[in-house]
A = this chain, B = another copy of it.
Amino acid sequence: MNTQEIAKLLVELCREGKYEEAHDTLYDSNVLSVEMDESMGQREVRGIDEVKKKGASWAQMFAGPATTWCDDAIVSGNSFACRMGFSGPGHDGNIIAGEEIAVYITKDGKIIEERFYW
């Protein structure tokens, strides 16, 4: 897959909430994942297992299903970016909502880096 195809498929999977499928099919095993700060845990983690743990940890914030959305990606060279967001019930009954710009770098048909900006 080229970067445009990876971007399109990632957006589709995110819209369907299929993050695990995205990790399994689109991510390189040595992927680097970088947050803007440490408010959600470690700023940087490397490796698909660590990225999956981040996803599981994120899901555990919610007491019930979260609604997610993702805009179409902008693509340039081996990189793409899209705005995405979420909203769901927290364990204290309040709604947890947020949004960010996610940037992805691909190499040899896989995502090798993701960075989140908010």
Contacts and interface: CB of A to CB of B under 8 A. Distances in A.
Interface in A80-118: 80-83, 85, 99-101, 103, 105, 115, 117-118
Interface stretch (A42-50, A53-61, A70-78): A70-78
A82 B71 CA distance: 14
Interface of A is mostly: strand
Q: How many copies does the complex hold?
A: 2
A103 B75 CA distance: 13
Interface size class of chain A, counting residues whose CB lies under 8 Å from the partner chain: 20 to 34
Contacts of A85: 76
A63 interface: no
B103 A76 contact: no
